[in-house]
Amino acid sequence: MDDAKYVWWYVMSASSNYLKQLHSQTVELSAGVDRLLETISTEKDNEHEMNFILEIMDKRESIISMFDEEFKKNDPVWSEEEQALLVELKSLQGAISPKLNRIFSSYQVQLQRFQQGKKVAKGYYNQSVYADGTFIDKKK
């Protein structure tokens, strides 16, 4: 194989590999986001799912940056299979974005509730006044 063909083959192989990795990570991200949405709606402990999603997003980010570097060097020509993967990636990303926004909104609401509870708890002294067998909290 002469050098020009090898370089072309290497570029196409690397681009195709990054595309397949990106597709795989996006499918995993989509499934993880769906699982996280289920745990949020049932108010179960979802720390494991959230960590999984963050890990997948980090992996995707590194793949995307490698993909971007490859594009800057060479503009690949996509096969029909790769074009189908690109279309599916676009569709998956379109489905994932609103779900991630719902998750973000849910965590914002939880944080606001936590802060309100903290504010109310700070409104009382730690001391209590005892009178006739009962006690009364004093507000600040």
Q: What are the tens digits of pLDDT across the range 87-120? A: 999 999 999 999 999 988 888 888 888 788 777 7
Residue 136 reports pLDDT greater than 80: no
The pLDDT score that the predictor gives to residue 59 is 92
Q: What is the mean pLDDT of the chain?
A: 77
The pLDDT score that the predictor gives to residue 128 is 56
Predicted confidence band of residue 7 (pLDDT cuts 50, 70, 90): very low
- Token pair for 90: 């676009």
Interval 54-68 mean pLDDT: 89
Indicate the burial class of 66 (C-beta count within 10 angstroms; 0-12, 13-18, 19 or more). middle
> Which structural domain, as residue segments, surrounds residue 126?
3-139
| Cβ pair 33, 103 in contact under 8 A | yes
Q: Is the pTM of this model over 0.85?
A: no
Residue 137 reports pLDDT greater than 90: no
Q: How far apart, in whole angstroms, are the C-alpha atoms of residue 11 and residue 33? A: 32
Q: What are phi and psi of 129, to 5 degrees?
A: -100, 125
How far separated are the first and last CA of the chain, in Å rounded? 83
Query: If residue 136 lies in a helix (H) or strand (E), which one and from where to where?
Result: strand 134-139
Q: Structurally, how many domains does the chain consist of?
A: 1
